């Protein structure tokens, strides 16, 4: 098998060298071509999730006697959906509905109990290492070496991604500027940054590697309105410039509507509906009545609607 990995020589003098912060389409396309040649990627589908189930033990409170096996509940129960390449797909749902669990499984941090998950045709259980080359994740509570500076953290990450230090610096400085983070502040220890500033560094760290599939778990939670817009714009630019596919979770309904091509609603571990923002709003509204995304959320996660669906 040919060596699919992009070497440092490929990156040197690449598009990112010429313009700081430009996202790198060339390597991503090459990576996907190789996946297609190896018989994984079908040229269309970025993500396929089928019958995905994940169970966790019930919290301690419900345990009856230490000798009994703790009962388990399904944090994800038979979730099925697909995301096309270049799509921005949003997941919304109440606290505890399973969004982060799903993201963790897609990023190979957690193993599914049942079902299948493929990223560009690569199975997360059978081939997690290859999946990891295709994805990157921004978590709500991103992990850093907190006593190291922002730039030390970014340099560490760039080495893992196999970027040249100089090209990495150009890229992350450019990306930081695009979301209103003054690169000078990278000299500070991460623990001295505000929550929002830290979140921006986390976003840039993930974007720097130009992943084929970007998993964003509440990427803009905790950001001020301007920063929120800037990160949202960067997500859209990333899709346009690099051809990245995005799966994101959010509690911000305006963001879901503004950013997502399609939205899936998770409720108690089940994907209860999927549609474009306009479709969902149409379905949530009464005759001649326009619904907002918030109405959509309230309707589809409300007890009333669920009782109707289950036959009363
Ligand atoms: N490692 C774990 N062990 C046990 N239970 C877990 C674990 N991780 C998640 N859960 C449970 O699974 C359910 C889904 O959690 P998850 O974090 O996926 O929800 P979420 O949709 O991301 O919620 P939020 O909107 O609050 O971020 C919750 O009931 C949670 O308590
Ligand atoms: Mg979560």
Q: What is the pLDDT of residues 196-205, one digit of tens each?
A: 899 999 999 9
163: pLDDT confidence band, cut at 50, 70 and 90? Answer: confident
Answer whether 273 contacts ligand 1 (Cβ < 6 A).
Answer: no
Spatial separation of the C-alpha atoms in residues 8 and 13, rounded to whole Å: 10
97 lines ligand 1 (CB under 6 A): yes
104 found inside a domain: yes
User: Cα–Cα distances in Å, from 254 out to 73, 91, 215, 223, 250?
Assistant: 32, 13, 19, 14, 10
The domain in which residue 46 lies consists of 8-60+70-275
The DSSP code for 70 is: P
What pLDDT sits at residue 303?
A: 63
With cut-offs at 50, 70 and 90, classify the pLDDT of residue 305.
Answer: low
What H or E segment, with its residue span, contains residue 168? helix 165-178
Tell me, yes or no, whether 43 lies in a domain: yes
Query: Rounded CA gap, 227 and 21, in Å?
Result: 17
What integer pLDDT is reported at residue 59 of this predicted model?
79
| Residue-level pLDDT at 13 | 37
90 within some domain: yes
Question: Domain tally for the chain?
Answer: 1
Would residue 282 count as lying in a domain?
no
Residue 128, domain CATH: 3.40.50.300
Q: Dump pLDDT digits (tens) for 64-114.
A: 666 667 789 999 999 999 999 999 999 999 999 999 999 999 999 999 999
The protein residue with its alpha carbon nearest to ligand 1, atom 8, reads 101
Tell how far the Cα of 69 is from the centroid of ligand 1, in angstroms.
20
For residue 52, the CA-to-ligand 1 centroid distance in Å is 15
* Ligand 1 midpoint to CA 177 (Å): 34
Q: Give domain status of residue 280, yes or no.
A: no
Write the residue with the smallest CA distance to atom 28 of ligand 1: 96
Residue 177 falls inside a structural domain: yes
Q: With beta carbons less than 8 A apart as the criterion, state whether 208 and 161 touch.
A: yes
Question: What is the pLDDT of the chain when averaged over all its residues?
Answer: 88
Q: For residue range 216-257, list pLDDT tens digits in order.
A: 999 999 899 999 999 999 999 999 998 999 999 999 999 999
Q: How confident is the model at residue 14 (pLDDT cuts 50, 70, 90)?
A: very low
For ligand 1, whether the C-beta of 99 sits within 6 Å is yes
159 within a domain of the structure (yes/no): yes
Could you give the angle at which helices 165-178 and 195-207 cross, rounded to 10 degrees?
A: 130
Please give the pLDDT value at position 62.
Answer: 55
Give the number of the ligand closest to the Cα of residue 98: 1
Tokens describing residue 174: 């450019």
| Nearest-5° Cα angle at 248, 252 to 84 | 130
SS3 293: helix
In a domain, 309, yes or no: no
Q: Looking at residues 156-164, what average pLDDT do you find? A: 89
Distance from C-alpha of 21 to C-alpha of 210, rounded to nearest angstrom: 11
Question: What gap in Å lies between CA 195 and CA 200, rounded to an integer?
Answer: 9
Nearest-10 Cα torsion for 55, 57, 59, 65: 150
98 CA → ligand 2 middle, Å: 7
Is pLDDT above 90 for 172? yes
The string of DSSP codes covering 178-220 is HTT--GGGGGSBGGGS-HHHHHHHHHHHHHTT--SEEEEESTT
pLDDT in tens, 22-74: 667 777 888 899 999 999 999 999 999 999 999 999 877 655 666 667 789 99
């Amino acid at each position: 098998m040919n060596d699919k990995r992009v070497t440092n020589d490929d990156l040197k003098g690449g598009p990112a060298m010429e313009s700081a912060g430009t996202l790198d389409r060339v390597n991503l396309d090459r990576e996907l071509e190789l996946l297609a040649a190896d018989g994984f990627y079908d040229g269309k589908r970025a993500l396929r999730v089928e019958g995905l189930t994940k169970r966790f033990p019930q919290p301690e409170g419900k345990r009856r006697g230490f000798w009994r096996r703790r009962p388990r509940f399904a944090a994800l129960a038979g979730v099925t959906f697909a995301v096309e390449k270049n799509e921005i797909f949003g997941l919304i749902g109440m606290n505890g509905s399973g969004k982060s669990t799903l993201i963790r499984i897609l990023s190979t941090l957690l193993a599914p109990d049942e079902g299948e998950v493929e990223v560009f045709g690569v199975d997360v259980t059978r081939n997690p290492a290859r999946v990891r080359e295709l994805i990157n994740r921004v978590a709500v509570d991103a992990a850093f070496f907190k006593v190291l500076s922002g730039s030390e953290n970014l340099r560490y990450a760039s080495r893992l991604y196999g970027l040249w230090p100089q090209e990495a610096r150009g890229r992350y400085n450019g990306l930081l500027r695009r979301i209103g983070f003054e690169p000078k502040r990278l000299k500070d220890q991460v623990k001295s940054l505000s929550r929002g500033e830290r979140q921006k560094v986390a976003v840039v760290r993930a974007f720097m590697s130009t992943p084929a599939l970007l998993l964003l778990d509440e990427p803009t939670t905790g950001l001020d309105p301007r920063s929120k817009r800037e990160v949202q714009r960067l997500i859209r630019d990333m899709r346009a410039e690099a051809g990245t596919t995005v799966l994101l979770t959010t509690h911000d309904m305006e963001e879901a509507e503004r950013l997502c091509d399609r939205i899936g609603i998770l409720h108690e571990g089940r994907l209860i509906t999927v549609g474009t923002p306009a479709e969902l709003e149409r379905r949530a509204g009464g005759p001649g009545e326009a619904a907002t995304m918030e109405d959509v959320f309230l309707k589809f996660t409300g007890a009333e609607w669920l009782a109707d669906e289950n036959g009363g």
